[in-house]
């Protein structure tokens, strides 16, 4: 893709050229984020983003490094982007210098640039209909904008931006945020939902005028895109006010053309996703052909870890949007060249990630896990990381461990939104033991059920008292501390529960069996209020 086409596709609302000594027809490659210390991997033609540059000297050092390695362009924010010495140095080095608008977040710029680059590369290769259609959609957006004389976005039914026209500088803050985030902001979306806009998109077949009732926004003219009774998406134009009937009718005519594009795009996306999902599932389940699928996915050198992400949303339509958002974010990691094979399997988003990324996250050197959790809005998704997989066959085991960890997060046994299997393996073991024990109904064997019945009948605390005593290996002070009672109270309870049922606690097999039963009650489906191991209650 040429720098000229890239700048035209993204638009001046985000990027504007400062200087291009050799013109903007130069080809550009991937997006690379430059670290402040200059440590970054760069190939000729790459776009270099000077993130968090604080002074002129840093900008000049980065510019020099980019020129030496034949970068495609350097992207900076003001004041560095317009500093006279920086512009002069870029001109002398023959390096295109591009200014990033101040309000544009760097993570959003990365996402936007890569989306545009991908759409072009896919269209050129001719191997993926999705990319080709994405390129056509940008052209269609420009054509519709000319008809309605207003900046336009084309969005899918989940409010994800598929393409947008030029002249977005005539829009508003919400439109800029929409383009950079590739999705309508949650608060703006909530406003449209409250005013019944999405309901009308699903029901109406003509243009919908949406007044500007939110501060900082302008009116919209929205055209639903339907096919065979199915909502494919919508076209949004920012207008100064009510639109004349003739112009609105011309705007409506564009829906038929957009429907054809979106149908072809969806068909291509479905095929592509099915193929990708099949390959990822083959690798993650260790099925026949896993080695070949791994090679096709680019998994050539481990170690890796499998990440499993579960969304928490009762509305299935919103849950689908969140899963797709996570899937897209999982496929690209901010600030790196990393492409993670990712797919949605059984309602869970899986990704196969180089192990060092997880290590960097644990060491506080990266923030992609946090970004992933924030990608969908509230509530944040649950993120579970499996164990280390040194080889392709080991990925199946890492996936099982990620599933186990996700189960702990979903059930609340681990009270947070993300966890790594290495940190919670003991709870995983106990959870498996509990499930096996529940299936065998071992809680009904021996005297434990009699103690539980006594607690229910008389309001005593025999079961939690016994559990605390066993967990602390008979230490009355430690057991009492666990229950927040006095050691003498603990001793009194232990004497009383022996009056309820005979317990030879000097027998190690009896102690082991009881602890296994109590663990099953705590971590399994048989757990009840008396099995939590905490609290006081009357003496036994």
- β-sheet with 418-420: strand ranges across: 342-345, 348-354, 304-310, 382-385, 418-420
Q: How far apart are CA 269 and CA 119, in angstroms?
A: 13
**3-class DSSP string for 39-106:** CCCCCCCCEEEECCCCCHHHHHHHHHHHHHCCCCEEEEECCHHHCHHHHHHHHHHCCCEEEECCCCCH
Chain position carrying tokens 């009308």: 200
**What domains can be seen in the chain, in order of their start residue?**
3-102 (3.40.1390.20), 115-267 (3.30.450.40), 285-423 (3.30.70), 441-531 (no CATH)
CA 410, 411, 412, 414 torsion-angle sign: negative
Q: How far apart are CA 42 and CA 95, in angstroms?
A: 14
Strand residues in 291-391 grouped as ranges (E): 304-310, 342-345, 348-354, 382-385
Residue 285 phi, psi (nearest 5)? -105, 5
- The count of other CB atoms within 10 Å of the CB of residue 303 is 16
SS3 175: helix
The total number of residues shown for the chain amounts to: 540
Q: How far apart are CA 419 and CA 535, in angstroms?
A: 28
Count Cβ atoms within 10 A of the Cβ of residue 506 and give its class: 0-12 exposed, 13-18 middle, 19 or more buried.
exposed
Chain position carrying tokens 């977040």: 105
CA 529, 532, 538, 540 torsion-angle sign: positive
Residue 531 DSSP one-character state: G
- The count of other CB atoms within 10 Å of the CB of residue 92 is 11
CB 529 within 8 A of CB 483: no
What are the residues whose beta carbons fall under 8 Å from the beta carbon of 333, sequence distance 6 or more? 340, 353, 357, 368
CB 98 within 8 A of CB 16: yes
What are the residues whose beta carbons fall under 8 Å from the beta carbon of 436, sequence distance 6 or more? none
β-pair type (220-227, 348-354) = unpaired
Q: How far apart are CA 198 and CA 238, in angstroms?
A: 17
Total-model pTM: 0.48
CA dihedral angle for residue 259, residue 265, residue 267, residue 272, rounded to 10 degrees:
-170
Q: How far apart are CA 246 and CA 462, in angstroms?
A: 80
Q: How far apart are CA 371 and CA 22, in angstroms?
A: 37
- For residue 524, the model assigns a pLDDT of 64
Nearest-CA neighbor of 124 among 111, 136, 109, 141? 136
Count Cβ atoms within 10 A of the Cβ of residue 492 and give its class: 0-12 exposed, 13-18 middle, 19 or more buried.
middle
- For residue 213, the model assigns a pLDDT of 67
Chain position carrying tokens 């006594």: 454
Count Cβ atoms within 10 A of the Cβ of residue 488 and give its class: 0-12 exposed, 13-18 middle, 19 or more buried.
exposed
Burial 3-38 (b: 16+ CB within 10 A, else e): bbbbbbbbbebbbeebbbeeebebebbbbbbbeeee
SS3 210: strand
CB 311 within 8 A of CB 381: yes
Chain position carrying tokens 């400062």: 18
Paired with 310 in beta bridges are: 382
Paired with 350 in beta bridges are: 308, 343
What's CA 203's distance to the chain center, in Å? Answer: 31
What's CA 160's distance to the chain center, in Å? Answer: 14
pLDDT in tens, the chain (540 residues): 788 878 877 767 678 887 888 888 888 888 888 865 556 677 888 888 888 776 888 889 899 988 988 889 999 988 888 889 999 999 999 999 999 887 676 766 776 677 667 655 444 433 333 333 444 678 788 888 888 888 899 988 878 888 888 777 777 877 877 776 667 777 787 888 888 888 898 888 889 998 886 777 888 999 998 876 678 889 999 998 888 888 888 888 888 778 877 766 665 555 566 777 788 888 898 888 888 888 888 888 878 999 999 988 777 767 776 777 777 777 654 433 445 788 888 888 898 888 877 665 555 544 556 666 665 666 778 889 999 999 889 999 999 999 999 988 988 888 888 888 988 888 888 888 777 777 777 767 788 888 888 988 988 889 999 989 988 888 999 999 989 999 999 999 998 888 888 888 888 888 888 888 887 777 765 433 334 443 444 444
- For residue 401, the model assigns a pLDDT of 93
- For residue 520, the model assigns a pLDDT of 78
CA 324, 327, 331, 334 torsion-angle sign: positive
């Amino acid at each position: 893709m040429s720098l000229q086409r890239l700048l035209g596709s993204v638009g001046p609302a985000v990027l504007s050229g400062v200087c291009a000594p050799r013109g903007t027809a130069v080809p550009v490659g991937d997006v690379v984020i430059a670290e402040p210390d200059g440590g970054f991997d760069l190939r000729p033609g790459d776009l270099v983003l000077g993130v968090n540059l604080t002074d002129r000297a840093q900008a000049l050092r980065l510019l020099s490094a980019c020129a030496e390695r034949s970068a495609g362009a350097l992207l900076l924010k003001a004041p560095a982007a317009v500093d006279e010495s920086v512009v002069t140095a870029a001109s002398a080095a023959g390096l295109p210098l591009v200014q990033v608008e101040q309000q544009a977040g760097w993570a959003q710029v990365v996402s936007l640039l890569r989306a545009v680059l991908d759409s072009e590369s896919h269209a050129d290769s001719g191997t993926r209909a999705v990319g080709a259609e994405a390129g056509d959609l940008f052209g269609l957006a420009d054509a519709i904008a000319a008809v309605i004389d207003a900046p336009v976005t084309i969005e899918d039914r989940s409010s994800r931006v598929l393409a947008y026209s030029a002249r977005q500088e005539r829009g508003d803050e919400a439109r800029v945020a929409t383009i950079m985030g590739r999705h309508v902001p949650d608060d703006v979306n909530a406003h449209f939902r409250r005013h019944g806009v999405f309901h009308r998109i699903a029901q109406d077949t003509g243009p919908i005028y949406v007044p500007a009732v939110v501060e900082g926004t302008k009116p919209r003219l929205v055209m639903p895109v339907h096919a065979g009774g199915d909502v494919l998406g919508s076209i949004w134009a920012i207008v100064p006010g009510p639109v004349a009937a003739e112009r609105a009718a011309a705007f409506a005519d564009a829906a038929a053309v957009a429907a054809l594009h979106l149908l072809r795009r969806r068909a291509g996306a479905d095929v592509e996703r099915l193929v990708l999902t099949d390959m990822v599932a083959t690798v993650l389940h260790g099925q026949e052909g896993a080695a070949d699928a791994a090679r096709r996915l680019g998994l050539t050198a481990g170690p890796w870890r499998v990440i499993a992400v579960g969304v928490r949303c009762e509305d299935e339509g919103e849950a689908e949007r969140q899963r797709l958002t996570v899937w897209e974010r999982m496929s690209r990691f901010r600030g790196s060249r990393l492409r993670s094979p990712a797919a949605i399997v059984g309602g869970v988003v899986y990704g196969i990630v180089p192990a060092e990324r997880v290590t960097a996250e644990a060491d506080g050197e990266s923030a992609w896990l946090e970004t992933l959790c924030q990608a969908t809005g509230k509530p944040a998704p649950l993120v579970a990381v499996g164990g280390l997989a040194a080889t392709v066959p080991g990925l199946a085991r890492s996936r099982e461990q990620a599933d186990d960890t996700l189960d702990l997060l979903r059930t609340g046994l681990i009270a947070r939104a993300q966890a790594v299997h290495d940190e919670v393996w003991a709870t995983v073991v106990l959870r498996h033991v509990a499930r096996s024990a529940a299936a065998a109904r071992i809680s009904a064997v021996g005297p434990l059920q009699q103690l539980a019945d006594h607690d229910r009948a008389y309001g005593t605390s025999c079961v939690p008292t016994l559990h605390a005593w066993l967990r602390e290996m008979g230490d009355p002070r430690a057991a009492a501390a666990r229950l927040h009672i006095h050691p003498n109270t603990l001793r009194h309870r232990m004497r009383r529960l022996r009056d309820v049922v005979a317990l030879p606690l000097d027998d190690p097999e009896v102690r082991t069996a009881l602890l296994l039963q109590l663990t099953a009650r705590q971590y399994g489906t048989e757990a009840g209020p008396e099995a939590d191991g905490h609290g006081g209650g009357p003496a036994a």
